[in-house]
Amino acid sequence: MSGPSGTPLPRERRHTLYFLDEMRAFSPVFLDTEVEMTELAAHRASVDRRYSTVTYAVHTAARVLARHPDANAAVRGRINPRLARYPGVHAKITLDKTLNGQRVVLSAVLRDADKAGLDDLQAQVERYRDGDPAEMEEFAGLRALHRLPVPVGRAAFRRVVRPLRGRAERFGTFAVTSLGHRPVDGFHSVGGTTITLGLGRVTDRPVARGGQVLVAPTMRLSLAFDHRVIDGAEAADVLAEIKDGLESFKAPAEDGDPR
């Protein structure tokens, strides 16, 4: 009796295979919390432009990571490991895209996200969201990687992402991934960075406020951290500050927030 037959892994998914191979060195630990989105929803309603939840999360988290340089860092070297802090705060976002007819997850890096305003971040999110990965220059290297034989492609991927500079350019210094467009309450993901945030859907839930139970828009927010780099207390501080920033969201004046 013969075993199950299979088909070759699509070329367009090879980068995911190489990425997951590299993630085996991580030591992830997972935290989560619930964020009340009332203030953020009010801000969204007060401005003319539509900002995505991912944009708000990147804007808030980038500023938190700038205050926590140990969490905006990575392990460098495998024989003689050292902790290296990144000089900038760069956000990796994930994208549900179709490439050559194959549905794939791609990623894009929003550089210096801690210094960018909401308008700039949203423009970048929309560009990557709406762009064709078969044509965009930013994905030219990825398309070339797909054309290489698997052993060569795996080695090429490793050479690019293992150095700290290459890791920051390809993975960012923290990651934000969302499944909030589907009925997903929460999930955990390792994005190749010390801190990865997972965004669930925003939906009305009961919340306790002032001794009363009210209904308010809430979102599950998860945080995965690499235990080789930071410990749980630091990660919990980062998660708490992101939660507080989203729950009391006020965009800086230079971001175009009306006053």
Cβ-contact 198, 192 below 8 angstroms: no
- The residue ranges of every structural domain in the chain are 11-251
Residue 258 vs residue 166, higher pLDDT: 166
Lowest mean per-residue pLDDT among 82-96, 159-173, 207-221: 159-173
Instruction: Say how many C-beta atoms besides its own lie within 10 A of residue 130's C-beta.
Output: 7
> How is domain 11-251 classified at the architecture level of CATH?
2-Layer Sandwich (3.30)
Instruction: Say how many C-beta atoms besides its own lie within 10 A of residue 121's C-beta.
Output: 24
Of the candidates 67, 216, 47, the residue with the CA atom closest to the CA atom of residue 122:
47
178-216 per-position pLDDT tens digit:
998 899 999 999 999 999 999 999 999 999 888 899 999
The pLDDT assigned to 259 comes to: 35
Burial of 25 (0-12, 13-18, 19+ CB in 10 A): exposed
98-108 per-position pLDDT tens digit:
999 999 999 99
Lowest mean per-residue pLDDT among 13-17, 115-119, 158-162: 158-162
Q: What is the 3-state secondary structure (H, E, C) of 218-255?
A: EEEEEEEEECCCCCHHHHHHHHHHHHHHHHCCCCCHHH
